[in-house]
Structure 1
Amino acid sequence: MPSLTHPSSFDSIRPFEPNELPEAFERLLADAQFRSAMAYVFPDIPFPSFAEKLRSCRTSMDVQKTFAYPFLAHLLETASKGGSMDSTAIDPSRRYTFVSNHRDIVLDSAFLAKFLIDNGFSTTCEIAIGDNLLSLPWVKDLVRVNKSFVVERHLPVRQMLEASKRLSAYMHYAISKKNENVWIAQREGRAKDSDDHTQQAVLKMMALEGEGDVIDRLKELHIVPLAISYEFDPCDYLKAQEMQLKRDVPGFKKSAQDDVVSMQTGILGYKGYVHYQCAPCLDGFLDTLDRNTPKADLFGIIARRIDREIFLNYRFYPNNFIACDLLADSHQLEHHYTPQDRSTFEQYVEDQLSKIDLPEKDEPFLRRCLLEMYANPYKNHLSAK
C-alpha cells in the first residue's frame, strides 16, 4: 500500500489530473442528467458547441475560466447587487488554505475561485467537498473536473482515521507540491443560524500530517481566515424549515434531494451584495503560541482566533441591524438603516416564511430562526470587539 505522502494514495479523493480529463469529459457528455443540467445553466450554448468547448480544455483551470468564471460573473450581475473580495492582507504570489464561514453549499468556494482571479492570483483554489453531496456519479466527476477533492464522511472509526490522515496529507501536498490554494469550511455543514464557530476537529485533521509539531504542521498550510457576507441568504427559509424539523422530528436527517434543492436555491436565488474579506495569514499568530501548550488547549486557542478574525471581518448590511432590533423589539440600531429599510426587510421575512410548507408550521419559531440568521453575525462581531 502506498504511503500517505505518495501521490497515488490520493487517487480516490483528489481532483482529476490533466491526462484524466478527456475520459471524464466523455463520461459527463454521455450522461443525460449532466446534459440537462448544462442546458439549464448555459441555455444560449447549443450542446454540440458546449461539448466542443469542454473537449478543448486541457486543465481544470481551463474549465474554470471557460465555463465557471463567466457563469459566476453572470450570476453576480443577475442574482446579486455585485460581489467583491478584499485580499490586501495577503500576498497573491503565495499559496494559502482559506478557512471560511459556510453559508452556501456551492457558491462559497465558487465565488472565492472567481475573486482570486479578479485579485491577481495566478491560480484559483482546490475545494474540499463532502462525499454526502456526491451520490450521483456525474456530480462526482464534475466536481473533480472543477478542482475539488473529496472529504470522506460517515465511515467506521478505524477507516475514518485513515481517511482523515489521507485528507490532511493531501491538503499539505496541494499547498507545498502542487502550488495550489485550498478552501475548506470552518465546520462540517453550514451553520444554519449563522452562528459561525470553527470546529476543532477540522484543525485536528489538518494537523494530522506534515512535519514538526502541531504549530509547524498548521503553518505549512498558511491558514487565512475568510469572512463571507451575503446580504440575503436565498436558503434562509430552507434552513429555518430544517431547524423546525430537527426540533420536532426525532432523528431527522436531510435527504440527498434536500441538498439538491438547497444547491439550486442557493445558486439561483437573490443574494443582494456579496463580499469576501481575507484576514491576515495565521502564520505570525501561530509563532506567538507556546509550543508546550497541551494539544487540547492549543486547538481551542487557534479555533477561537479564526472565529475572531471572521467575526471582525464581516461586512454588514441594513438587514443585520434590523434583525437585531426586531429580536430585541427595539430601535437601538436604527442609525444603521432607514424606516424604508426596516419595512422592506420585515416584508422580506414574511415572504420567506410563506415559502415554508410544514404540516404544523410554528411561525413564531420560524420567524425567530430567520431573524437570528441575520442578527448573529453582528452579535458575534460585537463580542469579538
Structure 2
Amino acid sequence: MREEFDEIRPYEAGEMKQAFDDLLNDRQFQMILKGFTPWLPKSMRNALLRLAFTGIKTPLDFQKRFMKPVVNYIIRKHTDGCSFQDSSIAAYDKSQRYTFVSNHRDIVLDSAFLDVKLVEAGYPTTVEIGIGDNLLIYPWIKRLVRMNKAFTVRRGLSLRETLAASQLMSRYIHYAVTQKKENIWIAQREGRAKDSSDHTQDAVLKMLAMGGDLKELNIVPLTISYEFDPCDYLKAQEFQQKRDNPAFKKSRQDDLDNMKTGIFGYKGRVVYRPAAPINTWIDDLSELPKTEWFKALAERMDREIHRGYELYPCNYIALDELNGNQANAAHYTDADVKRFNQYLAGQMAKINLPNKDEAFLRERMLTMYANPVRNLMAAQ
C-alpha cells in the first residue's frame, strides 16, 4: 500500500484486528451496543463479538460476516424488496473491476445494498466507498467505516486544499481499481439531491480524471430508485428552514438523524439498475473540444441514469397533482392515490417547525416524487 494514501484509505488486512480491538474499547461504541442488547453484560457482549470476529482478516471478510446479515435484515424489515432489475450486471466481466457512479438516495445504504447485490450476483468483491469526513464525527464511526471499505472524502477545505485533496483521492481511486482490484462506488454529486432531480456534477468527473485515464476506471452509471424516501420530510423541513433563514445550516446531529432515518425508515420497493459502462460509448465524445467534453460526458451520464429510473404509482400521482391534471392516471389506481396521501400525511406530521408551512412542505415533497418522472420523460 502506497503511504501517500494512509490518511484516506480503508484498513488493510494486517490492520483489522487492531481496529476491531480499538472499536470494542470505545466507550461510545459500547453505549451503542448496549442499546441493542441491554440484557447482556459488557464482558459477554465483547466475548461474543470476539468469537464472531474469529477468522476475519480483510474488510471483505468483515462485510460478509457482519454487514451482509445487517443489510439483509434492513432489506427484510424496512423495504418491500431490493433488486437488480437489469440483466446487464450479470453480463459484465467479473474479472474486471468497476466504478459505479450513481444518483444518491441514502448516505449509508446506497453502497450497502449494492454490496449485497454484487455478492449475490457472483462478484468476487464488493465496493470501496467515498464518505465525507463531515459524517465521521466520532472515532468509532471512522473506525467502523474504514473496516467497511470506506475511504475518506475531505470536506470544508480551502480552494487550494480542495484541489490537493481531490488529486489525492483520484489517484487513490485509480490505484484501488487498477492495483488493488477493487470496485468503487461514488455519488454523482456531493450530497443528495434534495429535490430528487439527479444530475452529475462536472466536478466529480474532473476529479476522477485527475488520477489517470477515465477508461481504466470502467465507470458504470447506476440508477437507484426508492418507492418512498424515508428522509423526504427531513428534506422538506430543510427547504423551509433555508427559505425562512438563508443562513441556516444543518448540525452534526441533523446529519446523524438523517442517517438513522434513512436506515430504519420505510422505503417500499428499491431497485438498482446499472447501465452499460461508459467505455462502450465514451469515444463518441472524442471530437468535442476539451472545454465542452466534461459537460457532455455529465449530460450523457445523466441520460443513462434517468433512463434507468424505476417509476412507481406515487411518482405519477405526485406529478399529476403538481400539474393539476390526471395525464398519468393510467399508471395508478384510486387505492394508490389513497395510500400515497396517507403516506404524505404521516410524513408531514413528523415535521416539527414553529411556523410550519403545510402547503409549501407538501409541494416540496410532491416535487421530490415527481422529478424522476420528468427526468425520465426528458431522457426518452
| TM-score bracket for this pair, using the shorter chain length | over 0.9
Written as runs of structure 1 = structure 2, the 5 A alignment for 1:188-227 is 188-210=190-212, 217-227=213-223
Shift of 1:42: 7.2
CA contact (8 A) 1:106 1:263 kept: yes
> Alpha-carbon deviations, 1:166-191, whole Å to 9, x = none?
00000000100011100000000000
Deviations 1:26-74 (A, max 9, x none): 1100112212334546789962212321354111011101111011111
Matches within 5 A, 1:163-312: 163-210=165-212, 217-291=213-287, 293-312=288-307
- Give the partner amino acid of 1:266: G
Match of 1:343 among 330, 338, 341: 338
For 1:152-163, list aligned pairs within 5 A.
Answer: 152-163=154-165
Shift of 1:153: 1.5
Q: In 2, Cα distance between the equivalents of 1:290 and 1:225?
A: 19
Equivalent position of 1:114 in the other structure: 116
CA distance in 1, matches of 2:261, 2:368: 17
Number of residues paired by the alignment?
A: 373
Question: Gapped runs of 5+ residues in structure 1?
Answer: 1-5, 211-216
1:330 and 2:325 correspond = yes
Letter in 2 for 1:281: P
CA distance in structure 2 between the aligned counterparts of 1:178 and 1:156, rounded to whole angstroms: 30
- Report the 3-state secondary structure (helix = DSSP H, G, I; strand = E; otherwise coil) of the residue aligned with 2:238: helix
- Does the aligned pair in 1 maintain the 2:62–2:148 contact within 8 Å? yes
C-alpha contact 2:285 2:297 (8 A) present in aligned 1: no
Aligned Cα RMSD in Å? 1.6
Q: 1:39 to 1:308 in 2, by over 3 A?
A: farther
Measure, in 2, the Cα distance between the counterparts of 1:39 and 1:123: 32
> How far apart, CA to CA, are the structure 2 residues paired with 1:44 and 1:68?
23
Please name the residue that 1:365 is paired with.
360
Q: Is the 8 A contact 1:22 1:55 kept in 2?
A: no
Q: Distance in 1 between matches of 2:138 and 2:366?
A: 34
Q: Could you tell me which amino acid in structure 1 is paired with residue 62 of structure 2? A: V
Tell me which residue corresponds to 1:143. 145
Query: Is contact 1:169-1:209 (8 Å) kept?
Result: yes
Specify the SS of the correspondent of 2:354.
coil
Q: For 2:200, what is the secondary structure of its paired residue?
A: coil
Could you tell me which amino acid in structure 2 is paired with residue 349 of structure 1? Answer: L
Identity %: 52
| C-alpha displacement of 1:344 | 1.0
In 1, distance between residues paired with 2:314 and 2:29? 37
**Aligned mate of 1:319, from 314, 317, 329:** 314
Q: Which residue type is aligned with residue 19 of structure 1?
A: G
Residue in 1 that maps onto 2:52? 53
Secondary structure, counterpart of 1:207 in structure 2: helix
341 and 303 in structure 1: CA distance in 2 versus 1, 3 angstrom threshold:
same
Matches of 2:370 and 2:37, distance apart in 1: 36
Distance in 2 (CA, whole Å) between partners of 1:296 and 1:238 is 38
Q: Do the aligned residues in 1 keep the contact of 2:189 with 2:199 (CA within 8 Å)?
A: yes
State the distance in 2 between where 1:380 and 1:155 align.
Answer: 33
Partner of 2:69: 70
Q: Shift of the alpha carbon at 1:285?
A: 1.1
Does structure 2 retain, via aligned residues, the 8 Å contact 1:25–1:55?
no
Aligned to 1:225, the other structure's residue is in SS state strand
8 Å CA contact retained: 1:279, 1:313: yes
1:56 and 1:171 map into 2 onto residues whose CA distance is 28
Greater shift, 99-108 or 79-88, is seen at 79-88
Shift of 1:272: 0.6
Deviates more, 1:151-160 or 1:270-279: 151-160
CA-CA distance at 1:120 after TM superposition: 1.1
User: Which whole-Å CA distance do the structure 1 matches of 2:106 and 2:267 have between them?
Assistant: 11
Quote the residue 1:28 is aligned against: 23
The 2-side partners of 1:307 and 1:37 are apart by 39
Query: Quick one: distance in 2 between partners of 1:69 and 1:204?
Result: 33
Cα distance in 2 for partners of 1:40, 1:115 equals: 29
Question: Is it true that 1:378 corresponds to 2:380 in the alignment?
Answer: no
Q: Distance in 2 between matches of 1:44 and 1:169?
A: 47
Return closer, same or farther for 1:129/1:78 CA change in 2, 3 Å cut-off: same
Determine if contact 2:285/2:296 at 8 Å carries over to the other structure.
no
| Rounded Cα–Cα distance in structure 2 between residues aligned with 1:265 and 1:128 | 20
Deviations 1:346-383 (A, max 9, x none): 11111111110111111111000100111100110000
- How far is 1:222 from its partner? 0.8
Q: Give me the whole-angstrom Cα distance separating, in 2, the residues matched to 1:43 and 1:182.
A: 37
C-alpha distance in structure 1 between counterparts of 2:139 and 2:86, whole Å: 35
